[in-house]
Structure 1
Amino acid sequence: MADSQNKWTAPVVRKQFLDFFAGKGHTIVPSSSVVPHNDPTLLFTNAGMNQFKPIFLGTVGKTDGGKHNDLDDVGKDSYHHTFFEMLGNWSFGDYFKKEAIEMSWELLTKVYGLDPNRLYVTYFEGDKSAGLEPDLEAKSLWMNVGVADDHILPGNMKDNFWEMGDQGPCGPCSEVHYDRIGGGRNAAHLVNMDDPNVLEIWNNVFIQFDRQKDRSLKTLPAKHVDTGMGYERLVSVLQDKLSNYDTDVFSPLFAKIQEVTNARKYTDKYGKDDVDGIDTAYRVIADHIRLLTFAISDGGVPNNEGRGYVVRRVLRRGSRYARKYFNAEIGNFFSQILPALVEQMGEQFPEIKKKQLDVKEILDEEEEAFARTLDRGEKMFEKYAAQAIKTNTKKLSGADVWRLYDTFGFPEDLTKIMAEERGLETDDAEIEIAKEKAREASKSVKEAALTFAKLDVHQIAELDKSGISRPNDDAKFLKGDSHGKIQLIYDGKDFLKSTEGLPSDKSCGILLDKTNFYAEQGGQVADTGKIIIDGVAEFQVLDVQAYGGYIVHNGYFKYGHLKAGDEVICEYDELRRQPIRNNHTGTHILNHALREHLGDDINQKGSLVDQDKLRFDFSHKTQVTLPELKKIEDSSNSYIKQNCKIYAKDVDLDIAKGIEGVRAVFGETYPNPVRVVSVGVDVDTLLAEPRNPEWRKVSVEFCGGTHVDQTGLIKDLVIVEESGIAKGIRRIIAYTGDTAHEVQRLALEFGQKIAALEKMPYSPEKEAEVKATQNELAQLTISTLSKEELRTRFAKVQKSVMDEQKKKQKAESKTALDTVTDHFAHPDNKDSKVYIGQLPISANPKAITDVMNHFKIKAKDKTVYLFGGSETEGAVVHGVYVGTEHSSQGVTAEHWAAAVSEVIGGRSGGKEPTRTGQGTNAEKIEEAVAVAEKWFAEKLKV
């Protein structure tokens, strides 16, 4: 058995692995992102080799340089994780099976001191249906290092043929398994049987194929090794623990969870032994904070699609465990555990230390949004569960599971956990049917709701006359849900007291006495969200408009009906509202920076604030220069980083106009009183001394929009476009918050791509990569400043390629001409008038043309038919010049080239006596040369 736990602490285990392979000539490289931004085939990195996929495929040079797990299992057993650390070593064509197996055995048995009798290895048994032979070489190599024959086991495609996705590099693998129990027993029959005490700790993958879209396998140009050792499992083995969680990989996180929750200590109990479920909750929280932190740090922002939804699901699952088992307050729970993880892993993974504040803010935003519906959702679940128990069906209906997600944000797997706790089942097929039914029902009404009829002056007068009050919408400036009472239903033509009788696919509008929804105005888009009576009716709000002080919530019913007098919950989409707040406050800060750096003649001419961006139009006679944009962006971000508080107050319009430096839109009619929004200075302080010139250093505006509480929440402001839209009117588009961080990440990533191109030696591959990169850069939406910097760098790369192309072109033109002139100058060919042949050049049309032009000008009587390229290159060009002597004999370039094109493919073009073409069948160059010779010979015989 390995040495004591004291020796093999988790950090020491990692360091020893790195030191061992560094001593074997390996290069230590930084950890790759868990979010594979450039690989659409993966939601998350599922193996350490993902970062090296281009190398395995041969698409980049070396200098650039698992299996899936089940969320439902995490917390229930001792070894499943949503996030795990992989220790790996790779070879990119330098060594293969023999060396990989020898190093594996040496590290495990000699360095870590594991008992060879407790280790088992597997090899690929082959698969006739896939045309794959058994990997007997691996089996033999394991025997050579001393593994007993009965500890070497064959494995099938599932266990011993490794693929990172539906497409890409793959190959046979050879696993190493460890028997935690030992004691002289033979555990071979338990290998790959999901036994917690006989577990895989290392996998040697021998990359030699590339899986195609059609599922066929192509052999890679070079053989590679990819190994992966489960860090958490290895630590548990070396510390002689039966659980990954009962080690110092997790104990610092458990200590922090206990500190935050005041719960009992973690005792590593499972299943029925974990009577109160608290140990399971410890494991879930500790595992989930690891995934959330690394995923968000690497750009995996929570949302409702793809990998973003996985992050959201994990956070909500963990939040519910924290609330149910630790009685924790949801809203900032995970961010309280975060510092312990950063302290534990921040040195090895500096990115989580750098992004700690961003991760905290995102975790808190997500938790807060979920907390708003968690209580109500759990109540509805209990209602649905009670119905299932009462009717003795013991199953939640698919419609109920879907509604818990659609209305309350409960991911399906979370509802399944809650159902399991109550002894209830769910049906995936039923859930899918309910999901599709809801989607189909919404399709037909969404467009109608977004183009809903406006209230005209007569209808507004009708509302006034009938005594319908204008709603109080002060709650739109507050966070969280609010309550209101239905006043009327508007069907696009008439006002109704109830939606009873309205067709189910009919969009309509709702008028409330109070609302927290923001109606579109002042350049800020309307909120979306829901108007609900839980379990009775749900109205999806797609648009909110104000008419003469009346606010109409336009949308459609997902289920149920509402009537005048109903008390409802008003729930705007907080996760959509938050970036809108960022962008609106960012607009104020940008407006201030523009005046600061471009002068007082800057006046707002329009704006748009939505969840994606801010757009600001302003008066300015000339284009804003890049140095000016830099100053504007820098001072905006300086203001943001001060984390100033946002103040707002309704003020008498005449008094408000007297505040020094206050910004307002020229020609706009403002209400009295007007809402004054100040960034960093209390409005009362401004009013106490309104003419103070210092206020010109403060962003102060008349504004009825929604804003952040502190500027720090905006994170960053990135200008992505500056353009002219009319004479004397300029437009700036900028991003804030997570979107700003995303474009910064894209810029950094693209900079790395250009850096790789800068190092790449000249080759046809580099030419192709430069061309592709040029197109990507043109379409890239990133900071205007970053884009200009990247363009400058890329222009140098492009110039170097063009210089090399010119050199290559010149050299190939010379080679081509020398080849042909040498032919005619040779004593054996002194009477020759024709040259037909393949030149020792690439598929270079310019070189072909240069030779043809030479003879057209200086040796008009000679005829040449030239070919360039090769089968290896996969390209071919050809060209013909018919000399004066042969053209007089009826030889035409057009017919000659047409005969050749029948073999080599493609078409030719040009004017007599020349013709050039690009073929499609590079493998038929020799045949094409022969056809050219034969055609010419036969033509002269005629």
Structure 2
Amino acid sequence: MTGGATVLVRGARARSLTLSCGGSPGLGSSGAFVLALTHSRHACRSFYESTGPEDPSPPPLPRLRPHPLPLSLPLLPRSNANAAAALTSCSSRQKSHSCADPDKTSTSTSTTTTSFCWTRALDGSQTNTPTLSGHIASSAIFPQRRFHSTSIFPTAVMAEPKWPGAVVRKTFLEFFEKRGHTIVPSSSVVPHNDPTLLFTNAGMNQFKPIFLGTISKADPMYSLKRATDTQKCIRAGGKHNDLDDVGKDSYHHTFFEMLGNWSFGDYFKKEAIEMSWELLTKVYGLDPSRLYVTYFEGNPDMGLEPDLEAKGLWQSVGVPDDHILPGNMKDNFWEMGDQGPCGPCSEVHYDKIGGRNASDLVNQDDPMVVEIWNNVFIQYDRQPDRSLKSLPAKHVDTGMGFERLVSALQNTVSNYATDIFTPLFKRIEEVTGARPYTDKYGADDVDGIDTAYRVIADHIRLLTFSMSDGAVPNNDGRGYVVRRVLRRGVRYARKYFNAEIGSFFSKILPALVDQMGEQFPEIVKKQQDIREILDEEEEAFARTLDRGEAQFEKYANAAIKKGEKKLSGAEVWRLYDTFGFPVDLTKLMAEERKLEIDDEEVKAAQDKAREASKVVKNSVQTFAKLNVHQIAELEQQLNVARTDDEAKFIKGDSKAKVQLIYDGKGFVKTTKDIAENAPLGLLLDKTNFYAESGGQVADTGRIVIDGVAEFKVLDVQNYGGYIVHNGYLEYGTLSSGNEVICEYDELRRSPIRNNHTGTHILNHSLREVLGDDINQKGSLVDNEKLRFDFSHKTGVTIPELKKIEDFSNSYIRQNGKIYAKEVDLDLAKGIEGVRAVFGETYPNPVRVVSVGVDVDTLLANPKNPEWRKISVEFCGGTHVEQTGLIKDLVIVEESGIAKGIRRIIAYTGDAAHQVQREADEFSKRLDALEALPFGPEKEQEIKTTQHALNQLTISTLTKEDIKKRFDKIVKSVTDEQKKRQKAEAKTALDTVVAHFDKNKDSKWFVGQLPISANAKAIGEVVKHFQSKDKERSVYLFGGSKNEGSVAHGVYVGTHLSSQGVTAEQWAAQVSGVVGGKSGGKEPTRQGQGTKAENLEEAVATAEKWLKEKLNI
């Protein structure tokens, strides 16, 4: 389109404005872009004239100041080359708004018209053109600046849109459910079984085991063929991070929903494409002319052909050829990672403006032409060498941005203008008293308040859903992301809304819970916990926010004054270390001051600060990591049966046969040609080794042919039912078919069994003592300890810990038998008091472990309230046969790891006895400390003992008693020190006074006093002479070689000061001898040093210097 659109504004101050769109790819030649504009204090009638392509030179564009005009955008198709004009009649209702007058720099309050517009062409025919309510801002909305006008913002918030967000979501799920899909609940935003992810960031995350082929047959999702869900997603921190963009534009979010449908080896491209098109155009009713689709164009270098099948399928459902576009590897080939499942994808894009051909704007980061749905066709497996292999089963993985879809259906330019966010904006307005949200961006958002609205609405969503799923603020990993987001939001609230910090976010929370609680009931259930965490975090940050901002301003002002353009890395790190300012928050503040931050400098400062606290963590090496192709090869090509591991529950060795050996590249039948000590993965037909699972570490041990070969097992992992023993061949040769003996390390397995059964008993004891609200949040069971994380709002008191430990040991001493049996999952869930881990996926049937009562007895009367008095859990781990084998359970630590999450570490068996022995030894050490006479040696031993006590790992209860005893010893020493200091002060003064009584003409005294390095005693003498004998001077020393320290002090009386002697000069001579520094105001100085061996020299130096000064 060439030429321009002349807009004549009728009203109190009419003027002519030109909207230049000439030659822009944003407006194709197939449609005229007509703006129905109203700007009047009372009423409106507007006339628009659109020139055709034959106009050679459009009028020049006047330079305009930001001039927000309330608009609707009727989008008229161009009927011919000379589409002359369209007349818009607007029936309006009025609402107060703030509007900038183009002739004034200030903002005036006037009346906005809420316009319900239709258009009529000059030939008299009425057109049903869609009206786009929204905001055309500066580069934030149109980064290519193809529009040179000012801004367009919604003139009214739709109270009841045709497609409310909740209805959009429900319609999507029901559509696919009717087509054979199972509605799967959203997984947690905190991945439970995927260490590669900081947060769940896509709908497919929970289905990765299916795509990878590692899902166990016992997993309830193993038989899943079709699925649909709305997945909670977070993209903040890590590889996928939208945090820095939130608030600046209309479509970035740190928390969002991903609607999706999946096929696992069932339907493929044809069905996926047909259902996508049907849902979008027939069910939701989106205008097909606004939809554009892409397909993979191929890549000859990778040996990949164009996905012409997808192209043809889109044609078959009626998509015009000029709306079907090829895409490259970046946009149209999806990969899970550097290796693994991958395949071509076909995207659906939506043009928010319409009435034009926007094909050249697809995948050009234009916010008016956005991707709303992506159909991924997973048909390849990326190999480590970057080659591709066809997958044995092909899958479909689709994802549609919920917020973007709702924006399209509610006909808004911005995701934030939909009813997903407007209730949150309303609540923010109520809490802060701020002006209403107006959906302005970039330079148009002059006061920054709209940006702050968006940031806070986005952040409360992330905070609420992350916390409800267990990600609470801390300084590590995802916990630190949560803390960063909260603090970022807090600063926006304070800076732009002048909000009181301490309970701000918790006041916004109810609006979100009301809005989304029906779909996600976890936020309803956890609302109070979330509220408490939010308030606690805000209060903590509020304590340092003012000081931190003040310090930032000092750094920023200093940098600007010096003409520098950045803050130093040391300053940025100090803001974090001292005031808790996340680096990205400081970066945001720096941007506001036109300053930069050097990330490398910050990292260097961080590394330097943390160098002393580095902790080296050792991890077990897993040699064999089977991928989906290798698992398929074992099952389909090599016909290798999955490993029978039932023997892991039976004590003792077992026999097995070697099936195959994995050498890191592939499967071989013999180790004959493999070097000794090379890492290998051994597959057997049966095993008694426990593969790492459910918080219990893997077994170690050996697999042998007596006298022929020995394979050291260092780690054991389960890949889709194939148990891989990772280790190395110490000697000999192993081949397929060899009969071997499996010997797990019983000395290591035994404490693991103790700790696992001990974990069950501890879990049961916690409920008995603290109540039913106790829920397991995590556990670790190894051969050294058990670690158990559980929900509890407050710290566990010492009396409560004593009850828990006593109850546990009483239970252990009953010597009850441990029963285990696989039970139908639904039946097992019906057992009264049964314990399970929240968020964990359990197989069906599930293994039930009961301490003291046979499982069949439980099932015979599952609702018997007596079962709450015993430990019953779902568990696949190894356990002792009877509780008495555990011997004892000793709690060695109770701490809080997050708000509402407590952690107990405990020892059982021999380890429990060992810590009891260590407690006894420490008690003996305290006996010796008590027996020491008062003096420097005892004081030094107290320091050493304090350090050892801090490092001591013993029973928490015993440690509490030991601390009380130690504190008593420290108090006795402190009391003795006070007495000694008082006595020494008297001795020091008497000594000096006696000297002057004996030498009445003497004007000064230099000497060592018969006291310890008692600075207070020396200070008392100095004060005495300063107040009562101002003429005489003294230089006093205390300490000894045995004590290892020196105290010294000087007072210069009037006699010496009149001759030019100063305390500062005099003390400087001494400090150089004894070490350390001195301080004070004339005429006094005091100091301490550590070079007690130079004490006599120091006295001599003080006297020599004075005599030289006086020429004596």
TM-score, normalised via structure 2 length: 0.43
List alignment gaps of at least 5 residues for structure 1. Answer: 1-445
Confirm or deny: 8 A CA contact 1:471 1:515 kept in the other structure. yes
Q: CA deviation at 1:901?
A: 5.2
Aligned to 2:632: 461
1:762 and 1:583, CA in 2 relative to 1: closer, same or farther beyond 3 A?
same
The reply to whether residue 646 of structure 1 matches residue 815 of structure 2 is no
Aligned residue runs from structure 1 range 758-777, under 5 A: 758-777=930-949
| Residue in structure 1 matched with residue 1077 of structure 2 by the alignment | 908
Instruction: Tell me how far apart the structure 2 counterparts of residues 931 and 447 of structure 1 sit (CA, whole Å).
Output: 56
Bigger CA drift: 531-540 or 587-596?
Answer: 531-540
Letter in 2 for 1:721: E
For the residues of structure 2 that align with 1:872 and 1:780, how far apart are their CA atoms? 29
- 1:83 alignment counterpart: none
RMSD: 2.3
SS at match of 1:450: coil
Q: Which amino acid aligns with 2:882?
A: Q
Query: 2:1074 touches 2:1094 (CA, 8 Å); kept in 1?
Result: no
Give the Cα separation in 1 of the matches to 2:875 and 2:686: 21
Deviation at 1:681, TM superposition (A): 1.1
Deviations 1:830-872 (Å, cap 9, x if unpaired)?
Answer: x432111111212222222332233345444432111112356
Whole-angstrom CA distance in 2 between matches of 1:928 and 1:724 = 52
Question: Could you say which residue in structure 1 is the equivalent of 2:838?
Answer: 666
Partner of 1:479: 651
**In 2, are the aligned partners of 1:449 and 1:555 still within 8 Å (CA)?**
no
SS at match of 1:772: helix
Q: How does 1:192-591 map to 2 (within 5 A)?
A: 450-466=621-637, 467-591=639-763
Report the Cα offset of residue 545 of structure 1. Answer: 0.6
After superposition, the Cα gap between the structure-2 partners of 1:866 and 1:447, relative to the gap in structure 1 and judged at 3 Å, is closer
1:840 touches 1:868 (CA, 8 Å); kept in 2?
A: yes
Q: Distance in 1 between matches of 2:1006 and 2:1018?
A: 12
Once the two structures are TM-superposed, the CA of residue 700 in structure 1 deviates from its matched residue by: 0.8
Query: Counterpart of 2:1050?
Result: 880
**Whole-angstrom CA distance in 1 between matches of 2:871 and 2:768:** 10
SS in 2 for 1:519: coil
Do residues 832 (structure 1) and 999 (structure 2) align?
no
d(CA) in 1 for partners of 2:1086, 2:827: 80
Give the conservation status (yes or no) of the 8 Å contact 2:1076–2:1090.
Answer: no
Alignment partners' CA distance in 2, 1:789 and 1:852: 43
SS in 2 for 1:591: helix
Counterpart for residue 748 of structure 1: 920
SS of structure 1 residue aligned to 2:840: coil
Show CA shifts across 1:384-404 (max 9, x none): xxxxxxxxxxxxxxxxxxxxx
The answer (yes or no) to whether the contact 1:582–1:707 under 8 Å persists in 2 is yes
CA contact (8 A) 1:449 1:508 kept: no
SS in 2 for 1:524: coil
Partner of 1:848: 1018
Query: Quick one: distance in 2 between partners of 1:848 and 1:544?
Result: 69
Distance (Å, rounded) in 2 between the aligned partners of 1:589 and 1:653: 22
2:873 is paired with a residue whose SS is: strand
Q: Distance in 2 between matches of 1:610 and 1:578?
A: 10
Structure 1 residue 862 corresponds to structure 2 residue 1054: no
Checking the alignment, whether the CA contact within 8 Å between 2:1046 and 2:1074 is kept in structure 1 is no
Are positions 1:610 and 2:782 aligned together?
yes
Task: Report the Cα distance in structure 1 between the residues aligned to 2:652 and 2:724, rounded to whole angstroms.
Answer: 20
Between the aligned partners of 2:814 and 2:998, the Cα distance in structure 1 is 85
Decide which of 766, 771, 785 is 1:599's aligned counterpart: 771
Q: 1:911 to 1:781 in 2, by over 3 A?
A: same
Shift of 1:536: 2.1
Residue of 614, 618, 634 corresponding to 2:806: 634
For 2:772 and 2:843, locate their aligned partners in 1 and report how far apart those are by CA, in whole Å: 25
Contact 2:792 2:902 in 1 (8 A): yes
Report the CA distance between 1:794 and its aligned residue: 1.2
| Offset of residue 617 of structure 1 | 0.8
Alpha-carbon displacement from aligned partner over 1:649-699 (angstroms, at most 9, x marks no partner) = 111222222211111112222112211111111112212222111111111
Who is 2:890 aligned against?
Answer: 718
Deviations 1:536-586 (A, max 9, x none): 221111100111111111111112221222111111100000000000000
2-side partners of 1:580 and 1:519: how far apart?
13
Gap change, CA 1:652 and 1:448, over 3 Å in 2: closer
Q: Amino acid of the residue matched to residue 615 of structure 1?
A: R
Higher strand share: 2
1:888 positional shift:
4.3
Which residue in the other structure is 1:250 paired with? none
Name the CA distance, whole Å, in 2 between partners of 1:767 and 1:715: 40
Distance 2:791 2:938 in 1: 45
Aligned to 2:858, the other structure's residue is in SS state: helix
8 Å contact from structure 2 (residues 698, 715) kept in 1: yes
1:633 Cα offset (Å): 0.5
Query: Which amino acid in structure 1 is aligned with residue 1040 of structure 2?
Result: S
Q: CA deviation at 1:500?
A: 2.8
**Cα contact 1:660–1:691 (8 A) shared by 2:** yes
Aligned residues: 494
| TM value normalised by structure 1 | 0.50
- Aligned-pair CA distance for 1:911: 4.3
C-alpha contact (below 8 Å) 1:449/1:554 kept by paired residues = no
| Structure 1 residues 860 and 705, CA gap change in structure 2 (3 angstroms) | same
> Could you tell me which amino acid in structure 1 is paired with residue 1004 of structure 2?
V
Structure-2 separation of matches of 1:633 and 1:591: 11
1:617 partner SS: strand
2:1077 partner letter: S
SS of 1:635 mapped into structure 2: helix
Letter in 2 for 1:452: F
Is the 2:1078–2:1088 Cα contact (8 Å) retained in structure 1?
no
Q: CA deviation at 1:644?
A: 0.9
Q: CA deviation at 1:875?
A: 4.5
Matching of residues 688-837 of structure 1 within 5 Å: 688-824=860-996, 826=997, 828-829=999-1000, 831-837=1001-1007
Percent identical: 73
Letter in 1 for 2:1018: I
State the distance in 1 between where 2:633 and 2:1023 align.
Answer: 86
In the alignment, what sits opposite 1:220? none
Letter in 2 for 1:806: K
Cα distance in structure 2, aligned partners of 1:756 and 1:930: 40
CA–CA separation in structure 1 for the residues paired with 2:749 and 2:648 = 10
Gaps of 5+ in 2: 1-616
> Aligned equivalents of 2:910 and 2:1059: distance in 1?
74
Checking the alignment, whether the CA contact within 8 Å between 2:676 and 2:729 is kept in structure 1 is yes
Distance 1:622 1:901 in 2: 52
Q: Secondary structure at the match of 2:982?
A: helix
CA shift digits 1:182-233 (9 cap, x unpaired): xxxxxxxxxxxxxxxxxxxxxxxxxxxxxxxxxxxxxxxxxxxxxxxxxxxx
* 2: CA distance, partners of 1:587 / 1:706: 12
Q: Residue type matched to 1:854 in 2?
A: H
- How far apart, in 1, do the equivalents of 2:710 and 2:744 lie? 13
1:666–1:516 CA distance, 2 compared to 1 (3 A): same
SS of the counterpart of 1:841? Answer: coil
Instruction: Name whichever structure is richer in helix by fraction.
Output: 1
**Superimposed CA distance per residue, residues 363-403 of structure 1 (whole angstroms, 9 cap, x where no aligned partner):** xxxxxxxxxxxxxxxxxxxxxxxxxxxxxxxxxxxxxxxxx
2:1047 counterpart letter in structure 1? V
Counterparts of 1:448 and 1:702, CA distance in 2: 27
Q: CA deviation at 1:895?
A: 4.1
